[in-house]
Structure 1
Amino acid sequence: MMLYKCYDPFIIESPEQCIALWAKNDKVARRKCADIHKKLDFYNAPVRTVLKDWIVEEYFVYSQCDVFICYPKDLDRASDVRIISVPFEISNVEEYVMNQLVEMESHEENFREYVNDKSVNMSFNERFYIDSEGWIFDPYLNSDESVDVREDIKVRILEENSNINRYMDDLWHDNVHDFFEDNEEYRDIFIEYITTDAEPDILDEGFYFYVCKELMELGEWVTYNDIRKVDIVA
């Protein structure tokens, strides 16, 4: 039996539009997929559409493994759906699957760009400029205006006879320490990366994995909320 990923080539709105199943060949896989959809009342595509238009991809899987198909919360296309092989000897399957998902996500180009970006918005670094009221910068500035902090922060700083730069620096460091509270090495590397002219090459694979796992657990990156074992069905 071979493993196949069968999916709608267009926009995917539900897990039923991207299925993993076992079959003897791609023709049988396509037929099985069509049979599944005949039983789904909500799915309006005719069986012939599934048979004719859907993509059927074969996946190599080691024989001594269980297979899981993982759907993200925000599902848009088939490439969003991950297939994970879990060796039989793994005792903590849930942890293994999650680590594999983190490993995959941490290598995605958009994730690396997000982490490597040193700017204060639309980046990983942005999350460290957030206080109890949200992002500390004024979100209503025009595109041609320089970045400025919120008015309530200016008032507070004036009342406390402090200054904006000190407030921003203290907040940023406090938030960085909170995020990396159980890994001082990565904390110090990130601080060096952001506060100096350091290039991304000082961030190793372990760093990206750590950050990705933390963000996924916090719900700030891709969240896989539907994980199913792919059973062998005759």
Structure 2
Amino acid sequence: MKLYKLVFSDIVDAKDVIFVYAENEYRAFKYACEKHMQDYKEYLLEMSLEEFLVETKSFEGEMRYLFSKGDMDQIARVYFEKVVLNGWTVEELEHNCMSSEWAVYPEHVNAEDEVYLISVDKNAKLDEVKDTLSIKLSIDVNFREYVEDNSVDMGLLAKMHHDEMGWLFMNNPPLRLRKDLMTEANRRNISQWQYCDEIMYKNIDVYFGDDVGLKEEYLDFLKNETKLSEQFYRHVARKCIENDDWDRYTIKQVEVA
């Protein structure tokens, strides 16, 4: 079996970037068609008769025959082969027969490079795929900006400024605690910023749990702007993958056409 990557010219969701094992390109394209079958059927059914005739003019006879039989599945397949196929590209990828390939899709796919292909040992479990994904994510420039952002409304630090009711602050300027938190700060006779820091440090404790070393590394970074370690980025990346904090990923093993 060969490993193929198929990409549609107008990417709107995960089905427009496909990885598949197939005997040849024809089988790979057939697989892509089946994945889009319901979309094409709905698209064709929403067309007016005039639009349908214009779209299928070059193969009108075949479509009329299929339409008379009411075979919408085959109509969608023919439409894919005659019209939609021109918008797809295919690339054969190198792969090790002793490895297993997994496709990782973020919740919203708008570009080809937003989809990861993870190669792991053939007997690897999902956890090992996530470990590999965390390494890839940890070196992503945008992800590192998220981790390093030291504002209370963006990035990892913003996560530490939330409680069970949401963000700690009022939604309109100037920056100040929510009324319920301000009331509690006043009751305890401490400033709003002291109370804010108390909640933040408690959240940091919970976030890093028993990993005291990484917690201290993060606190040192916040206080002294020290450089974070690769281990730190990977740890946060893994937690983000598990908790859907960075994106909501769908991870699935590459199928055979």
TM-score of the alignment, normalized to the shorter chain, above 0.5: yes
Distance 1:83 1:36 in 2: 18
Partners of 1:57 and 1:34 in 2: CA distance: 11
Unaligned stretches of 5+ in structure 1? none
Residue aligning to 2:92: 58
More helix by share: 2
CA drift at 1:43: 2.9
TM-score normalised by structure 2 residue count: 0.76
Q: Is the 8 A contact 1:128 1:172 kept in 2?
A: yes
Partner of 2:162: 130
Question: How far has the Cα of 1:50 moved from its partner?
Answer: 4.1
The 5-angstrom pairing of residues 19-168 of structure 1 reads 19-23=18-22, 28-29=24-25, 31-39=26-34, 40-44=36-40, 46-88=80-122, 90=123, 92-141=124-173, 146-168=174-196
Give the Å deviation of 1:168.
1.3
Please report how far the alpha carbon of residue 74 of structure 1 lies from its aligned counterpart in structure 2 after TM superposition. 3.0
* Runs of 4+ residues deviating >4 angstroms: none
Alignment equivalent of 1:212, drawn from 237, 247, 255: 237
Deviation sequence 1:20-71 (CA, Å, 0-9, x none)? 12356xxx42x33432354453132632344322122332212321222232
Q: CA deviation at 1:204?
A: 1.1
Q: Percent identity?
A: 24
Question: 1:16 Cα shift?
Answer: 2.9
Question: Between Structure 1 and Structure 2, whose CA radius of gyration is higher?
Answer: 2
Gaps of 5+ in 2: 41-78
What is the TM-score normalised by the length of structure 1?
0.83
State the alpha-carbon separation in 2 of the partners of residues 102 and 50 from structure 1. Answer: 35
SS at match of 1:165: helix
CA RMSD of superposed structures (Å): 2.1
Distance 1:21 1:50 in 2: 19
CA distance in 2, matches of 1:4, 1:50: 18
Q: Is the 8 A contact 1:37 1:47 kept in 2?
A: no
Output the CA distance in 2 between the equivalents of 1:46 and 1:119: 49
